[in-house]
Amino acid sequence: MSKEGPRLLSTKDGYAFAKFNGRKINFGRSDDPQARIRFAALKAQWEANDRELNDDMLMVRTMPGAVTVAVVCDQYLAHVREINAADWQRNNYARVDLALRPVRDLYGPQPAADFGPKKLQAVRVAMLKTGRLCRREINERVRLVVAAFTWAVAEEMAPAGLAHGLAAVAPLKKGQHGAREGREVGPVERWVVDATLPHLSRPVAALIEIMWWTGARPSELFRLRPRDIDRSGTPWVARLEHHKNSHRGKLRELHFGPRAREILTPFLLRRGAGEPLFSPAEAVAEMEPRKRQERKTPLYASHLARYEREKAARPDRVVGETYDAGAVRKAVQRAVAAANRERREQGVQLLPDWHPYQLRHAAAGRIQAALDLEAVRVALGHSDAEMSMQYARRDLAKAAAVMEEAG
């Protein structure tokens, strides 16, 4: 630490922080004038206390009446970024941010201590009025808001009774306040997958196939490396260090049967032991020659010059070494659109829109039909059987229809 003491710094996302005696203290958004005031006040007390930090100083900095709702929102966002890995942030940070936006918009300047159940219900009404959110999504966002203020209570930024009061707000029930129900997500049919695959890059097509045969979450495959897979017996096994439930102490293994092993083998041979099996950079390298080969017009020098200009105009565009959920979802959307252009010309049935997570539902249905619900829970890595039932429910309905016809 310099002789001048801690300095107020800013994260890449615009949050102000400083380190006192090795402890990182957040002060809210960097563009909030109060952040600098809070920092200056704490530093003055720290200097007066022989450059030692104590809990009394932090309590003064975060007196419930002095902390606003906006400060709670900003510091909670900084907190979740600090404690969660990059994989979690890619898939979840935006959802937390979106959940807190109406809270900040409606009550940002007001004391956090005054944010009670009635105001939480008002935030929920604001979510309802957008017309864009279904009941389940609204309930999830309200849960995230409650989590933020529960954290604020633990940090002594809000009175202890606040978390209890907010938790008393019951989730929306079906039909309550006109909340619409979300679209039921079920399995994608195999013929739809088969018609989509030719329009995907080789790595994405392999990812889709592996998800179909294993029921793995997309995030469990993106960073999978050859050295993560034990190939000493059958089935092959990948023991994941980082996964959705790793913070709960849960173990997660992926098991690769004969079809999955057949799909994985070419990638195991091409990639180094520590490299991700499925690489978007590799997909781009394969795509460029194929696109040029499929050109219907000659590739003139003017075309090459234009491509170079476009490339130079985006010097910061870097193709990553791993996929994420958004990239794969967009790739499937583009592939479905390309397939439907051909099918429309041929006068055959168009493909429905679908997304990669439906492959997990399809695997759950197959496993449940062949074995039982407990097998679904174990194979898909669910914490409870109720979640497994949600994935398998549509196939159970189909089974009932078959038995009604044939039994």
Assess if residue 111 is contained within a domain. Answer: yes
H-assigned helices in 49-116:
55-61, 69-83, 86-107
H or E stretch including 23? Answer: strand 23-29
Q: Are 237 and 229 spatial neighbours (Cβ–Cβ below 8 Å)?
A: yes
Is the model's pLDDT at 329 over the cut of 60? yes
Distance CA 92, CA 107 (A): 23
Q: Which of 54-63, 140-149, 282-291 has the lowest mean pLDDT?
A: 54-63
Residues 90 and 155 in one domain: yes
Is the model's pLDDT at 115 over the cut of 80? yes
Residues 48 and 116 in one domain: yes
* CATH (domain of 361): 1.10.443.10
H or E stretch including 59? Answer: helix 55-61
Is the model's pLDDT at 319 over the cut of 80? no
Distance CA 18, CA 40 (A): 11
Q: Please report the pLDDT score of residue 296 as a whole number.
A: 61
Is the model's pLDDT at 191 over the cut of 60? yes
Question: Tell me: the pLDDT tens digits for 383-398?
Answer: 454 444 454 444 434 4
Residues 73 and 125 in one domain: yes
Residues 95 and 28 in one domain: yes
Q: Which of 31-40, 78-87, 139-148, 317-326 has the lowest mean pLDDT?
A: 317-326
- DSSP of 229-282, one letter per residue? EE-SSSSEEEE-SS-TTGGGT---EEEE-HHHHHHHHHHHHHS-TTS-SS-HHH
Q: How many domains does the chain have?
A: 2
Is the model's pLDDT at 349 over the cut of 90? yes
H or E stretch including 24? Answer: strand 23-29
Q: Please report the pLDDT score of residue 400 as a whole number.
A: 36
Distance CA 363, CA 124 (A): 35
Residues 255 and 365 in one domain: yes
Strand partners of residue 9 = 17
State the Rg of the chain over Cα: 26
pLDDT band at 58 (very low <50, low <70, confident <90, very high): low
Q: From 178, 213, 235, give the residue that closes a domain.
A: 178
Distance CA 132, CA 180 (A): 9
Which domain, by its residues, includes 162? 9-178
CA dihedral 20, 24, 26, 27 (to 10 degrees): 20
Q: Tell me which of 295 and 212 has the higher pLDDT.
A: 212
Assess if residue 302 is contained within a domain. Answer: no
Three-class SS of residue 8? coil
Distance CA 343, CA 154 (A): 57
Overall pTM surpassing 0.85 (yes/no): no
Distance CA 254, CA 118 (A): 45
Assess if residue 264 is contained within a domain. Answer: yes
Q: From 147, 178, 209, give the residue that closes a domain.
A: 178
Residues 163 and 189 in one domain: no
Is residue 76 exposed (0-12), middle (13-18) or buried (19+ Cβ within 10 Å)? buried
Q: Are 135 and 172 spatial neighbours (Cβ–Cβ below 8 Å)?
A: yes
Is residue 275 exposed (0-12), middle (13-18) or buried (19+ Cβ within 10 Å)? middle
Q: From 149, 178, 207, give the residue that closes a domain.
A: 178
Assess if residue 251 is contained within a domain. Answer: yes
Three-class SS of residue 195? helix
Tell me the residue type at 21: N
Distances (CA, A) of 63 to 42, 148, 211: 13, 17, 50
Assess if residue 316 is contained within a domain. Answer: no
pLDDT band at 287 (very low <50, low <70, confident <90, very high): low
* Distance between start and end Cα atoms, the chain: 78
Residues 44 and 132 in one domain: yes
Q: Tell me which of 88 and 212 has the higher pLDDT.
A: 212
Give the rounded distance of the alpha carbon of 332 from its chain centre: 17
Q: Please report the pLDDT score of residue 320 as a whole number.
A: 66
Is residue 218 exposed (0-12), middle (13-18) or buried (19+ Cβ within 10 Å)? buried
Residues 120 and 19 in one domain: yes
Do you know the residue count of the chain? 407
Residues 247 and 370 in one domain: yes
- Average pLDDT over all residues of the chain: 78
Question: Tell me: the pLDDT tens digits for 173-182?
Answer: 988 888 888 7
Q: Which of 233-242, 243-252, 329-338 has the lowest mean pLDDT?
A: 243-252
319 φψ region: left (φ > 0), alpha (ψ -120 to 50), beta (else): beta
Nearest to 120 by CA among 183, 172, 195: 172
Residues 372 and 356 in one domain: yes
Is the model's pLDDT at 403 over the cut of 50? no
Q: Are 26 and 16 spatial neighbours (Cβ–Cβ below 8 Å)?
A: yes
Three-class SS of residue 14? coil
- Which whole number is the average pLDDT over 129-151? 93
Is the model's pLDDT at 81 over the cut of 90? no
Structure tokens at 363: 């695997």
Assess if residue 287 is contained within a domain. Answer: no
Q: Please report the pLDDT score of residue 401 as a whole number.
A: 40
Assess if residue 270 is contained within a domain. Answer: yes
Residues 97 and 13 in one domain: yes
Cis peptide bond N-terminal to 276, omega within 30: no
H-assigned helices in 108-254:
117-129, 135-154, 161-167, 190-196, 202-214, 219-222
- Angle at which helices 325-346 and 202-214 cross, to 10°: 100
Across 11-15, 276-280, 313-317, which has the greatest mean pLDDT?
Answer: 276-280
Is the model's pLDDT at 45 over the cut of 60? yes
Assess if residue 89 is contained within a domain. Answer: yes
Distance CA 66, CA 254 (A): 49
Residues 89 and 146 in one domain: yes
